[in-house]
Structure 1
Amino acid sequence: MTDGAPFDDIDRDAVRAALREWYEDDHREFPWRETTDPYEILVSEVMSQQTQLGRVVEAWEAFLDRWPTAEALAEADRAAVVGFWTDHSLGYNNRAKYLHEAAQQVGDEFDGEFPQSPDRLQELMGVGPYTANAVASFAFNNGDAVVDTNVKRVLYRAFGVPDDDDAFEQRASELMPAGESRLWNNAIMELGGTACEQTPICDESGCPWREWCHAYQTGDFTAPDVPTQPSFKGSRRQFRGRVVRALSEHGELALDELGPRIRVDYTPEGDSGREWLRGLLEDLSEEGMVELSDRDGTTLARLQE
Structure 2
Amino acid sequence: MTSTVHPNYDDIQALTKDSHVTEKQLHEDLHPGYCREAACVITVIFNVIIFLLGITGNGAVIWITGFKMKKSVNTTWYLSLVLSDLIFCATLPFTIDNIVKNSWIFGLFLCKFNAFVMTLNMYSSIFILVIISVDRCITVKFPVWAQNQRTVQKASLVVVLAWFVSSLLSIPSAKFREIQNESTEKCYSKYGDHHKTVVFMRFTFGFLIPFLTIFTCYTILICKLRANQMSKSTKPYKIMAFLIATFFICWLPFQIVSVLELDRSEHNSAFYTAQKVSATLASANSFLNPFLYAFMAKDLKKKCYSFLSKIESAIDEETRSAFRATSITNSVDNRLSTAV
| TM more than 0.5 | no
Higher RCO (CA-CA < 8 Å; seq separation 6+): 2
Give 1 or 2 for the bigger CA radius of gyration: 2
What is the TM-score normalised by the length of structure 1? 0.28
